[in-house]
Amino acid sequence: MKQKECLLLAVALGMGLSLAACGGEGGGGEGPIVAPPPAPAEWADKHMPAGWWTDAAKLEEGRKLYAGETNPDVNCGSCHGKDGKPTKAGARDFRVTDRMKLYSDSVWAWRIAEGVPNTKMKAWKSKLSEDDTWKLVLYEASYGLPGKGWDAATKSWVDAASVVAVPAVVPAAPDSTGK
Ligand code: HEC
């Protein structure tokens, strides 16, 4: 074989190997770990209700919702797995910290409410109140990010106990110049 051909073959084989590695352990066969799109305006400023990151009762309510115990029509575990290990191909593996930490709490809530177009992940908002959606975010986060909470001020996952609740956005005061 000519030297050039050999080189091409080596490159092709190498690519095959690295592609196989991309789909391997850790990513759970879900493809490369990339940041999700930003949440749309409607969700971007919504965050976990104050105090919930450390609220064990809310977490338990989230678990019941996830497992279909609260409402059999809402059974996240049927695809994402009771223990967080997906049972349906392509469903997100919430145990993969490297991926899940790229999501803000707003993005998680938005995805649950609106779903992911053209995938098996449908929109759940017709079956879930906004509070229920946050309980599910709380529960899912407990797989890959146990003990953590999203800190909106620093835009990062921090120890749940140190999350500072952001005040709800208040409309700007009327212009005092009376324009
Ligand atoms: C019929 C199977 C199925 C059910 C039931 C299901 N999901 Fe999913 N879910 C998926 C799939 C498949 C994906 C991956 C979508 C993609 O490729 O981005 C996904 C992705 C997600 C994501 C990540 C979205 C993203 O942008 O990566 C979240 C969060 C999520 N699901 C939460 C839930 C919650 C909470 C429930 C229950 C209310 C639920 N899922 C029920 C199949 C399901």
Q: Which tens digits make up the pLDDT trace of 152-172?
A: 999 999 999 999 876 655 566
pLDDT by residue (tens digit) across 93-142? Answer: 999 999 999 999 999 999 999 999 999 999 999 999 999 999 999 999 99
Task: State whether the Cα torsion 126-42-131-140 is positive or negative.
Answer: positive
In a domain, 30, yes or no: no
In a domain, 125, yes or no: yes
Task: State whether the Cα torsion 98-103-105-109 is positive or negative.
Answer: negative
The number of distinct structural domains making up the chain is 1
| Closest by CA position to 50, among listed 170, 150, 132 | 150
CB count, 10 Å around CB of 32? 8
What is the residue with the minimal CA distance to atom 40 of ligand 1?
76
Domain CATH for 63? 1.10.760.10
Does residue 74's CB lie within 6 angstroms of at least one atom of ligand 1?
yes
Ligand 1 centroid to Cα of residue 17, in Å, is 29
Detail the DSSP E strand segments found in the chain.
Answer: 148-151, 156-159
In a domain, 171, yes or no: no
In a domain, 173, yes or no: no
In a domain, 35, yes or no: no
In a domain, 7, yes or no: no
Q: Is 100 exposed, middle or buried (0-12, 13-18, 19+ CB in 10 A)?
A: buried
Of 63-72, 76-85, 125-134, 158-167, the poorest mean pLDDT is in: 158-167
What is the residue with the minimal CA distance to atom 29 of ligand 1?
108
In a domain, 18, yes or no: no
Structural domain of 60: 46-162
The answer on pLDDT for 26 being more than 80 is no
Ligand 1 centroid to Cα of residue 15, in Å, is 30
> Of 105, 110, 121, 125, which is best to mutate to test ligand 1, by the most ligand atoms within 8 angstroms of its C-beta?
121
| 3-class secondary structure, 148 | strand
**What atom in ligand 1 is closest to the CA of residue 30?**
17
In a domain, 122, yes or no: yes
